[in-house]
Structure 1
Amino acid sequence: MSGMDLLVISDPLDRLDPAVDTTLGIVSAAVARGHRVRACGPADLAIVDGAAVARTYDVRRGDTRWTRLEDADAVLLRPEPPVDRRYLDATLVLDRVDRARTLMVNDPRGVRIANEKLWALEHPDLGPPTLVTASAELIADFVGRHQECVIKPIDGFSGHGVLRLGDHDPNAASIIELSTDGGRRQVVVQPWLERVRDGNKRLFVHDGEPVAAALRFPVENGDFRVGMPARMVGIDDRDRGICDRLRPGLSDLGLFLVGLDVIDGLLIEVNVTSSGALRECDRLLGSTLCADFVDLMEDTTQGRSS
């Protein structure tokens, strides 16, 4: 195609790490193809006479101007989570964009609905037993049945606030109190999966199709949370089965770029906000996931209404 007009809504690009940041990886791949890329932050969005606009800058030349979002072939919504008031307000502005004209990655409605920790519970049989509650009593009972658990905030990201909780841990009551803000905030509790030692698989799902997978392992300093992608692995029948089950919902919600976290064949999270690890895999493991995603955007935006 002659070139796409892309608009990237993100945290300031000059503050992102080019070695690991997927947003920069996609931007770099698009620029290398000759596509026109403009960028802005969530606070630069506005609605004028019913139309979504933004004060944007050209990522190569730096010139700044107001842009109608529907003039873009694709809009990439890429601020870092959490999905807070700032993030939600941005999605409400983006609701004014005509999806028939402009590819939304990801659709703001889908981002609001598909909480990364909870949306997988649409298919509870795909994942481990899961408790969502602010009740210390229910958490204690769940941990008593499963012995070792993980407790995490609903709006958490990148491992922030994730704690391991054992049935005989003398700090259990304090951990529960801290995590639930004294019973005022729901948390997610799941059994500790020992086979995370064999790898937490990140499945890269583009337009509903699994395109690649990478294993990440707990870091070696004793922290149970996973680190950088360590190696690419094949997509197995279980992975395909999970994607087959999720595909209709992903399509309905306009979730075009998604990362699934799978441990021992169990679906743990559905990453739909600033779904990452593509750039890390490209740099560490020699994949071409960012460029491949630009290919997909080219194919998808061709023939759309102008």
Structure 2
Amino acid sequence: MDLLFVADPLEVFKTAKDTTFAMMREAARRGHTIWACEQRGLSWQRGSRVVARDARRISLTGDAYAWFKVEEQRPVELAAVDAVLMRKDPPFDSEYFYATHLLEQAEREGARVLNSPRALRDHPEKLAILEFPDVIGPTLVTRDAQAIREFHAQHQDIILKPLDGMGGMGIFRVGADGLNLGSIIETLNQHGRTTVMVQKYLPEIVQGDKRIILIGGEPIPHALARIPQGSEIRGNMAVGGKGVAQPLSARDREIAEAIGPVLAARGLLFVGLDVIGDCVTEINVTSPTGFQEITQQTGFDVAARFVDALEAAVAAPRT
């Protein structure tokens, strides 16, 4: 197969832990051809099809640093490859939004895009949990500062976060004393201009913010618990959280079975659920991670499972 990865610049990949790199490596091992482009290279013009203007066909060198070699560089029509994998990291900003429309146009022209661009657009990672109220904790989404104060008065210990953050960026905890609540609301809410998510603080975070990986709607058997270190309340690996792979609990499987088939039916081949204790806190669909850490610690080859599912998706009749 010819596979086109829409991703961040290859030059910034951290190959020791990058999930997109793990996908590429496994696909290349099976003999598939790897193309890569950046989101900014997507283009459409009347009379032609969506193209990746900066597409590069690469081979993998095996070197930890100079890890790829460009074999060819030219514009590539998205409909001309076997699958397009949208792996651009957040934020889900206006340019990402526009890219999903270009990718959807490519689908109309015959391209197979995974995850589905419409599904990416319809499932913003913070707000996607609202569809599944039975598996989330107390949550508020609002632009109203007074509503946030009332939520704090009710739950005492809360987490506030922006809707467009990633890697733990912009997350605040306010305890029962309400210290700095006003300032934090002003920072995130910008005097009513910006919507904020507020959730009850879940003390189970000390055991880790678990990443449950769904491939084709089914969970792999291990989660990656990202455990906060030192005085941090955030377990995100980007802010120093320690990743510890562990078998799925019965509750983890219950959550995965409730959410996985629903999202898979919408064209979301690869999803990362964030779970603290018994509650889902986010549903990650843009570029979930965790493949390499789980594989290294458990021996379960997550990338192989993913490429199996990718091959099956490409071979399946279009609906």
Q: TM-score, normalised by structure 2?
A: 0.88
For the aligned residue pairs, the C-alpha RMSD in angstroms reads: 2.0
Helix, strand or coil: the match of 1:296?
Answer: helix
The 1:241–1:170 alpha-carbon spacing in structure 2 relative to 1, beyond 3 Å, is: closer
Helix, strand or coil: the match of 1:38?
Answer: strand
* Equivalent residue letter for 1:256: L
Pick one of 124, 129, 134 that aligns with 1:120.
129
Where in structure 2 are the equivalents of 1:1-306 lying within 5 Å? 4-48=1-45, 49=47, 51-55=49-53, 56-60=55-59, 61-98=70-107, 102-226=111-235, 227=237, 228=241, 230-302=243-315, 304=317
Helix, strand or coil: the match of 2:225?
Answer: strand
55-64 or 117-126, larger mean C-alpha shift: 55-64
Q: Which digits, 9 at most, give the CA deviation of each residue in 1:242-270, with x for residues without a partner?
A: 23322343134311110001111111110
Q: Which digits, 9 at most, give the CA deviation of each residue in 1:182-241, with x for residues without a partner?
A: 221111000110111122221110011111332424332211100456333223332233
Distance 1:99 1:288 in 2: 34
Q: Which digits, 9 at most, give the CA deviation of each residue in 1:151-184, with x for residues without a partner?
A: 0001111100011112313311111111111221
* Equivalent residue letter for 2:35: R
Match of 2:64 in 1: none
The 1:185–1:123 alpha-carbon spacing in structure 2 relative to 1, beyond 3 Å, is: same
* Equivalent residue letter for 2:49: A
Distance 1:302 1:217 in 2: 35
2:211/2:226 contact within 8 Å kept = no
Distance 1:215 1:251 in 2: 21
Distance 2:220 2:109 in 1: 25
Number of equivalent positions: 302
Q: Which digits, 9 at most, give the CA deviation of each residue in 1:265-285, with x for residues without a partner?
A: 111110000111112323455
Distance 1:33 1:7 in 2: 15
Q: Sequence identity, in percent?
A: 37
The 1:206–1:100 alpha-carbon spacing in structure 2 relative to 1, beyond 3 Å, is: farther
1:206/1:293 contact within 8 Å kept = yes
Q: Which digits, 9 at most, give the CA deviation of each residue in 1:127-170, with x for residues without a partner?
A: 00110112221111101111111000011111000111123133
The 1:280–1:217 alpha-carbon spacing in structure 2 relative to 1, beyond 3 Å, is: closer
The 1:246–1:303 alpha-carbon spacing in structure 2 relative to 1, beyond 3 Å, is: closer
Distance 2:252 2:41 in 1: 39
The 1:128–1:54 alpha-carbon spacing in structure 2 relative to 1, beyond 3 Å, is: same
2:224/2:294 contact within 8 Å kept = no
Match of 2:63 in 1: none
Distance 1:7 1:74 in 2: 6
The 1:229–1:71 alpha-carbon spacing in structure 2 relative to 1, beyond 3 Å, is: farther
* Equivalent residue letter for 1:51: R
Distance 1:240 1:219 in 2: 23
Distance 2:307 2:224 in 1: 23
Helix, strand or coil: the match of 2:166?
Answer: coil
Helix, strand or coil: the match of 2:168?
Answer: coil
1:58/1:64 contact within 8 Å kept = yes
Distance 2:108 2:213 in 1: 23
The 1:234–1:283 alpha-carbon spacing in structure 2 relative to 1, beyond 3 Å, is: closer
The 1:286–1:231 alpha-carbon spacing in structure 2 relative to 1, beyond 3 Å, is: farther
1:50/1:96 contact within 8 Å kept = no
